[in-house]
Amino acid sequence: MGLLQGLLLAVPGAVAQGVLWGIMTLGVYITYKVLDYADLTVDGSFATGGAVTAILIVKGMNPFLSILFALVAGCIAGCITGMLHTKLKIPAILSGILSQLALYSINIRIMGKANTPLLGINTVVTEVKKWVPSLSDNTVALMLGLAVAAVVIVALYWVFGTELGCCIRATGNNEYMVRALGGNTDAMKIAGLMLSNGLVALSGAMVAQTQGYADVGMGIGAIVIGLASVIIGEVLMGKRFSFAYKLASVVVGSIVYRIIIAAVLQIGMKSTDLKLLTAIIVAIALSVPVFKSKFKLGKFPRKQAVR
């Protein structure tokens, strides 16, 4: 009974964190699913968003305005990764690793130290609570996360319905065809990476403000978490419907992932084992569609009768 009660108490916080991290997952979805690009910049740009918003708030900037600057910083990080890949012909994975590695030092430079606390400093949570003091921190974080996620989904649905968005999607599907038709695939890749890492940094900024600190290592493993959320969302909700539905399923996958983590922690698993758990979840989620298709098509070998 105590375990169930503890889980129920942990669920609201897990859902709020799931929505906030879901914005990061939307960025991962753009590169992983739409652009078909293995971008590892995410681990660095997530922390960049947190570092930028934290230092700007400490310096006295409005917390909502600081989030916009964090988004711009993420776009710049994505642009650099895109330039390394398209202009210097560095492989996609390696270009992301180089950007991620550089951002670690850059984030420390931005904050001046490895960790910037935001306790006692005005954040988006305290701003909202000025208007509605009765709301808890988790409720405010959930409301803000849902509002921003909804705006992002609507904006992405509109962007990918434009000529630019269609070119980005076409580049992910078949860049050789786009190039043959006269399209600039290099520009499309850079645009997609800028959009993706901008959303990742936006998520990092909101997570930093809601949790009360920014840390240089807060983005470690973000790419794996994002992939896990994308895959969980697809497995649970399918991918047969509209593009907006797919985007919403990504956020749902992030929420489910956070609930799973909260449940495992309540059972007694150590927090140091969460990376292992995430790897297992990703492996299982990736294997589910394969097993489903094999069962559906009857590809598993049957035992032959002994003659």
Compute the half-sphere exposure of residue 205: CA atoms within 13 Å on the CB side of its CA.
Answer: 29
Q: pLDDT grade, residue 293 (50/70/90)?
A: confident
Compute the half-sphere exposure of residue 45: CA atoms within 13 Å on the CB side of its CA.
Answer: 36
pLDDT over threshold 70, residue 307? no
Taking the C-alpha atoms of residue 176 and residue 157, their distance in angstroms, rounded to an integer, is 25
Residue type, 209: Q
Read off the pLDDT of residues 49-61 as tens digits, 9 standing for 90 and up. Answer: 999 999 999 999 9
Read off the pLDDT of residues 183-199 as tens digits, 9 standing for 90 and up. Answer: 899 999 999 999 999 99
Residue 205 belongs to some domain of the structure:
yes
The number of distinct structural domains making up the chain is 1
Taking the C-alpha atoms of residue 284 and residue 124, their distance in angstroms, rounded to an integer, is 36
Taking the C-alpha atoms of residue 254 and residue 151, their distance in angstroms, rounded to an integer, is 17
3-state secondary structure (DSSP) of residue 213 = strand
Determine the pLDDT at residue 73: 97
Determine the pLDDT at residue 5: 67
Whether 195 and 75 have beta carbons less than 8 Å apart is answered as yes
Determine the pLDDT at residue 239: 66
Residue type, 103: L
Read off the pLDDT of residues 114-136 as tens digits, 9 standing for 90 and up. Answer: 999 998 899 999 999 888 888 88
Determine the pLDDT at residue 288: 73
Residue 303 belongs to some domain of the structure:
no
Q: pLDDT grade, residue 278 (50/70/90)?
A: confident
Q: pLDDT grade, residue 10 (50/70/90)?
A: confident
Determine the pLDDT at residue 6: 67
Residue 304 belongs to some domain of the structure:
no
Determine the pLDDT at residue 302: 52
Mean pLDDT in residue range 294-305:
59
| CATH number of the domain residue 71 falls in | 1.10.3470
Closest C-alpha to 193, from 37, 23, 88: 37
Determine the pLDDT at residue 205: 96
Q: What is the extent of the structural domain holding 202?
A: 2-297
Residue 307 belongs to some domain of the structure:
no
Determine the pLDDT at residue 297: 63
Q: Over the range 196-220, which residues count as b (16 or more CB within 10 Å of their CB) and which as e?
A: bbbbbbbbbbbbbbbbeebbbebbb
pLDDT higher at 72 or 305: 72
Q: pLDDT grade, residue 1 (50/70/90)?
A: very low
pLDDT higher at 278 or 61: 61
Residue 305 belongs to some domain of the structure:
no
Residue 177 belongs to some domain of the structure:
yes
Mean pLDDT in residue range 27-53:
94
Mean pLDDT in residue range 37-54:
95
Output the six-digit token pair for 37.
């690009």
